[in-house]
Amino acid sequence: MTTTTLTVQDHTLGGQILHELFLKFQSQRISVAELIEQRVRAEVAEYNQRADAFLLRRNLVVPGDTEQLLNAKSPKAKRQINADKQVAAALQAFKQNGFFVLLDNRQLENLDDIITLNDGMIVSFIKLTPLVGG
């Protein structure tokens, strides 16, 4: 079975790259939902391994208020973020246009859309920030 590696980048609306990671897929064809899920699970795994450094970046995975409170610096061991909850939140955010996903500069619009993967493809996540007071 062939492994395909995608470059995943977080962008500002102006096109600045904020973060980059690489995801490997065993299948040549995946859905947009599977792409988002793999990306979120990779971030959660990274967060759970090194939470302090992770929070200094802007990511698609952002611990909720309760998770941040529970993970506040204390002598106790840090709690882990629940990947399933983060995946559900990311899928819901995609449905509500909380972020856009572009594959080689083409917008992916539906979670069920199937993508045929090739090495070297670039996937861009553009998180939208709601305007304050409007």
Question: Domain for residue 109, yes or no?
Answer: yes
- The pTM of this model reads 0.77
* Domain tally, the chain: 1
Beta strands 99-103; 17-25: pairing state = unpaired
Residue 132 lies in a domain: no
Phi, psi (rounded to 5 degrees) for 30:
-135, 160
Does residue 134 lie in a domain region?
no
Mean pLDDT, consecutive 10-residue stretches, the chain (134 aa), reads: 90 89 94 97 87 58 69 61 95 95 94 94 88 64
The CA distance from 59 to 7, in Å, is: 15
Domain that holds residue 17: 4-127
Nearest Cα to Cα of residue 41 among 25, 29, 17? 25
Look at residue 75 in the predicted model and tell me its pLDDT: 47
